[in-house]
Amino acid sequence: PKAGLDKLFNTGNLNIGIIIAILAVIIIYVVLHKTTFGYELKACGSNKSASKYAGINEKKSIVFSMVIAGALSGLGGGLLYLSGSGKYLQVLDVLAPEGFSGISVALLGMSHPLGILFAGLFIAHLTVGGFNIQLYNFVPEVIDMIIAVIIYCGAFALMFKQLLNTFMASQIEESSEARENKDNTDNIVGEDDEHAEKEESQ
């Protein structure tokens, strides 16, 4: 499982899992952004009803997305326990928190494969740092609070972005309606003026 990485790097925890993670990111990126199947998955995730009316089988897309997510989760869990790099090898009856951390990573990475890769590395560094700060009489739960604050800030940023986009769309729609009403009024006034000129000429 180490694949010789423990000899290249001055650490005993680096294993082939990082290579598999990078390969998985590349494969998922290509599938989502370069194939029709990936376009259908993203369209169904954005708006299931619109995808249905566009002719996309939304049930098939949902099932395939669940299969892909389950396969990646199983791959991550297998690497955690089989690579010999986790502290959970001696405590197999305790549920590892990495599965729940995946939700934070997905949110912080904006559900983008490349963003998730860097977000995962960031969260992993914070988590490992939380274990190390115990040597300096710090409480490791501080790292969980820091991660929670980061996630909340990211969620609020997305919420405000959505509200701003909605507000801008409504403003554009109102301005276009006002412009159309003005054009219609100008046309009516122009027709009335032409009609009045014809009557005067007669």
Domain boundaries, the chain: 1-89, 97-202
Give 111's DSSP letter. Answer: T
Radius of gyration (C-alpha) of the chain in whole angstroms: 28
Rounded Cα–Cα distance for residues 125 and 120 (Å): 9
In this prediction, residue 143 has a pLDDT band, given cuts at 50, 70 and 90, of confident
- Percentages (nearest 5) of helix, strand, coil residues in the chain: 80, 0, 20
Count of CB atoms within 10 A of residue 114's CB? Answer: 13
Rounded Cα–Cα distance for residues 67 and 45 (Å): 15
The pLDDT value recorded for residue 67 is: 93
Determine what percent of the chain is predicted with pLDDT higher than 70: 74
pTM of the model: 0.68
Write the CB contacts of 12 (distance below 8 Å, at least 6 apart in sequence).
6, 85
